[in-house]
Structure 1
Amino acid sequence: MDKRGNSVLENIKVNYEKLFSAEKKAAAYILANPEQAIMMNISELARKSGSSEATVVRMCKHVGYQGYYQMRLLMSHDFGKARPTYDENEMLSSARRIFESSAARVAALEEAIDLELLVKAVRLLRLSRMVFVVAAGNTSPIATDLGFRLERCGIPCSYSMIPEHFLNHVSLGTSDDTIVAISRSGASKQVVQAMELAMKKQMHSIVITGEKDTQLAEHADCVIQIVDKKKQALDTEPDSHLLELAVSDALLYINRHFDALTQNAKDDNKEAGYGDDVELLLSEYKL
């Protein structure tokens, strides 16, 4: 299409009438809900707009982009340019405000993460012959850090920042192994491929993600969902991985105190106690 606007939303508007009817559903949803759409993966957008993933891709191409991923990145950039500026002196004069905002994001995990689920995940890790920790893109360092630290705890791990390497490693796994897949969107191609290989090997699986309703999480034994309720406090960018690190630390903390925690659960199975335990875990690494 020939017409181009100055932003992604303008491009959609000027080319809207030339789109096919199915494509208009996806375009209309983005125009009506741009801030929500910018945080969605392609599967979520297709479902919310009543279209299909293929339709979303065609719509993106018809308004001048290579695909949804590129359009989403550029739309994020558009929103970044449009954001209001803050009083720089106020920000720089209060480091406490910056750290308190980050601490609030971590503390909010207490509402979404269940201690029993974390204990179940750690039990799988401890019983595994080998743990494969996989992630792609800028989440790869999180996987490498978790794998290295689990090894320091005596849990055999395989991890790599190169997708070809971790895919090959997973393909050599067995049903006695566990895969830990980390993807905020739940749609990282190489991570999904690794999960598919693990399922063929009948491995146990743990998924750390921001989205539960995805192919990645569909067949997982444990889905640890990251709910970033405080992400707008200081205009934090969506590529922050503070919460993934917090979950990694929680898993390592539980592993370190596994015997005591499981014994306490046997001695006192009162449901009300779990909230306090999660708060205790999170307090270990609050900023």
Structure 2
Amino acid sequence: MAEKSNSVIEDIKAKYDKLFSAEKRAADYILANPGECIMMNISELAQKSGTSEATVVRMCKHVGYQGYYQMRLLMSHDLGKNRVSYDENEMLNSARRLFDFSAARIAALGETIDIEMLIKAARLLRMSRMVYVIAAGNTSPIAMDLGFRLERCGIPCSYSMIPEHFLNHISLGTSDDTIIAISRSGASKQVVQAMELARKNNMHSIVISGERKTQLTEYTDCVLQIVDKQKKIRVGIEPDSHLCEMAISDAILYVVRYFDAFMKSAQDNKKADNYSDDVELLLSEYKL
């Protein structure tokens, strides 16, 4: 496995001269288009670089990784480190900087929320008889919006801004249902109460929260954690923004809508990663 101190790009450059010509074509494409490659599955990269899936896998193994899927995840993490960030004492004094600041907050989520977790959440939602989306206080509009858009995707939902309403609805839930609880602190009283009620009814659960170890996240099926590294500005005020919650909602909805394509991509990547075992790697040394 590649040394953790190196980036994927550095590893490819370090091992480049030892790669075979076909493998170099795949490596060249990655080096020239790293941002594009982290959005590609192995089939797409093979097509773009004029190689085969097996060649891509062999290249990844020669560079020092278990396969393309692992290398792509680590490369995504590497690129995330280089995104725009601002010091907390820096004034955002132009429209461009204000929007870059917001974009950096959303981009940072990619370092902490794995696509597998989003796929798991989407699978729970698609298999549910009813989905209950809950939040309290000024986070309630996020729950309302998510519930409405899930219904547009064909998933039955229950959502209300009144705690007495969503608690009453959840009391009728069953083990075929799922609850989505949204709370930045993970300690909103009405949300915690709703989660406790859902557990008694053996419901599945998805939590969107800024805290991983709270009463809300205990025993849940899926935690989508908000790590907001860009939350302070020069005047010392944390913007009362739910931009990250909205971004996670959008990501869930996207995976729900294109779930079959995500599953096929995951299966293709797994199949290709397992294709080249040690014998195949040994034989590849003698292939023209």
Q: TM-score, normalised by structure 1?
A: 0.61
Letter in 2 for 1:153: C
Residue in structure 1 matched with residue 138 of structure 2 by the alignment: 138
Residue 240 of structure 1 deviates from its aligned partner by: 1.1
- Which SS does the other structure have where 1:106 is aligned? helix
Call closer, same or farther: CA 1:260–1:85 in 2, change over 3 Å.
closer
Residue 256 of structure 1 deviates from its aligned partner by: 1.2
Separation in 2 of the partners of 1:270 and 1:241?
38
Residue in structure 2 matched with residue 167 of structure 1 by the alignment: 167
State the structure with bigger RCO (CA 8 A, min sep 6), 1 or 2: 2
Residue in structure 1 matched with residue 266 of structure 2 by the alignment: 265
Matches within 5 A, 1:1-287: 86=91, 91=93, 94-232=94-232, 237-269=238-270
Separation in 1 of the partners of 2:240 and 2:213?
20
Separation in 1 of the partners of 2:233 and 2:258?
33
Structure 1 runs not aligned, ≥5 long: 1-82, 273-287
Percent identity for Structure 1 against Structure 2: 71
Residue 257 of structure 1 deviates from its aligned partner by: 1.0
Q: Which moved more, 1:232-241 or 1:123-132?
A: 232-241
Residue 212 of structure 1 deviates from its aligned partner by: 0.6
Separation in 2 of the partners of 1:198 and 1:271?
40
Q: Give me the CA root mean square deviation.
A: 2.1
| Largest Rg, 1 or 2 | 2
Conserved? CA contact 1:217–1:223, under 8 Å: yes
Call closer, same or farther: CA 1:175–1:122 in 2, change over 3 Å.
same
Deviation by residue 1:161-184 (Cα, 9 ceiling, x = unmatched): 000000000001111000000000
Separation in 2 of the partners of 1:143 and 1:271?
39
- Which SS does the other structure have where 1:216 is aligned? coil
Residue 135 of structure 1 deviates from its aligned partner by: 0.2
Structure 2 runs not aligned, ≥5 long: 1-87, 274-288
Call closer, same or farther: CA 1:249–1:85 in 2, change over 3 Å.
closer
Residue 270 of structure 1 deviates from its aligned partner by: 8.4
Call closer, same or farther: CA 1:271–1:193 in 2, change over 3 Å.
farther
What is the total number of aligned residue pairs between the two structures?
A: 185
- Which SS does the other structure have where 1:231 is aligned? coil
Deviation by residue 1:118-171 (Cα, 9 ceiling, x = unmatched): 100010000000000000000000000000000000000000000000000000
Conserved? CA contact 1:101–1:233, under 8 Å: no
Residue 232 of structure 1 deviates from its aligned partner by: 2.4
Separation in 2 of the partners of 1:160 and 1:258?
27
Letter in 2 for 1:124: L
Residue 222 of structure 1 deviates from its aligned partner by: 0.2
Poorly superposed stretches of 4+, deviation over 3 Å: 83-86, 233-236
Residue 230 of structure 1 deviates from its aligned partner by: 1.6
Residue 85 of structure 1 deviates from its aligned partner by: 9.6
Call closer, same or farther: CA 1:110–1:236 in 2, change over 3 Å.
farther
